[in-house]
Amino acid sequence: MVARSHGGPEVIAREDFDPGAPGEGELLVAQDAVGLNFIDTYYRTGLYPAPLPVPLGSEGAGQIVAVGAGVTGFAIGDRVGCASGLGAYASHRIIAADKAVKIPDGVSNEDAAAMMLKGMTACYLAEDMIRLEPGQVALVHAAAGGVGSVLVPWLRDKGVIVIAHCGSAEKAALVDADHSLHGPFDGLAATVRDLTSGKGVDVVYDGVGKDSWASSLASLKRRGLMVSYGNASGAVPPVSLLELSRGGSLYVTRPTLFDYIATPQELAHTAERLFDRMQRGVVKAVIGQRFALSDAAEAHRALEARETTGSTVLIP
């Protein structure tokens, strides 16, 4: 499934193709499941540039059916997942072996496809952005969504106090946080201040973007960290450094997962931490909905309308 032009979900079209044989350092994977992520909509609309037609999707899992020359550590039949590059919306996919991770026993291919990108994002947010200690406080936006539904239990397992925020009471009821809030952003910062005895939170994890930006900054404690990792409501407008000063010498970062899994060693370490927490039951693949791969446009519509909960998978 590809986007032949930039635009709404209607630009997604089916395309028959022959993946061919894997080249040197590559694997050919027959995919059982594909993960749906908000970043897919950014490539579809052109917010993130890529040559047309755009082969959509980053995240998928399945079995290796062919191994290219020079590949070591992988064999035909191995179960692997990948969350890098484009072209995951497909029945078969050629990937670089150094971008693949083996899926361990106790983790299904469907769960891996639902969790690779979101779970590894939650991993670097919780473990690599800031050294959080038990008792510190985090505000997590879109807490019932793909990343949020993994990040909240991950943080709580570390002893972090989590204030979760969702767009509706129904979604907030699904979140097991210390405080699960919902509703407009206008009064959120005041509520956060009340819950933290006026101090604010140590860190805000914000995948919403434009609509939540002001409330996120206003929720931070002095020298707090604003982690803006997504644009579900649109890109954050230009930021004034004076605004950060007035807020209490605030820190802001705009990270992406791929800078935290840039080497095979970093990828393996991140995947290892994710699969460990999946096997121990700390985090779970909460698959809220499944779509046929051919219905990818409908899946995009549901995602952008904020009608999904947890993870969404596309089944080839």
With respect to residue 247, please indicate whether it lies within any of the assigned structural domains: yes
With respect to residue 52, please indicate whether it lies within any of the assigned structural domains: yes
Specify whether 71 is located in the same domain as 130: no
Instruction: Please state the domain count of the chain.
Output: 2
**Residue-wise DSSP of the chain:** -EESSSSSGGGEE----------TTEEEEEEEEEEE-HHHHHHHHTSS--PSSEE---EEEEEEEEE-TT--S--TT-EEEE-SSS--SSSEEEEEGGGEEEPPTT--HHHHHHHHHHHHHHHHHHHTSS---TT-EEEESSTTSTTHHHHHHHHHHTT-EEEEEESSHHHHTT--SSEEEES-STTHHHHHHHHTTT--EEEEEE-S-GGGHHHHHHHEEEEEEEEE---TT-PPPP--HHHHHHTTS-EEE---GGGTS-SHHHHHHHHHHHHHHHHTTSS---EEEEEEGGGHHHHHHHHHTT---SEEEEE-
For residue 23, give the CATH number of its domain. Answer: 3.90.180.10
Specify whether 138 is located in the same domain as 230: yes
- Domain containing 16 equals 2-108+285-314
With respect to residue 273, please indicate whether it lies within any of the assigned structural domains: no
Specify whether 125 is located in the same domain as 92: no
Specify whether 173 is located in the same domain as 206: yes
pTM: predicted TM-score of the whole model, two decimal places:
0.88
Taking only the tens of pLDDT, the chain with its 316 residues reads 999 999 999 999 999 999 999 999 999 999 999 999 888 999 999 999 999 999 999 999 999 999 999 999 999 999 999 998 999 999 999 999 999 999 999 999 999 999 998 999 999 999 999 999 999 999 999 998 889 999 999 999 999 999 999 989 999 999 999 999 998 999 999 999 999 999 999 999 999 989 999 999 999 999 999 999 988 888 888 989 999 999 999 999 999 999 999 999 999 999 999 999 999 999 999 898 999 999 999 999 999 998 888 789 999 9
With respect to residue 298, please indicate whether it lies within any of the assigned structural domains: yes
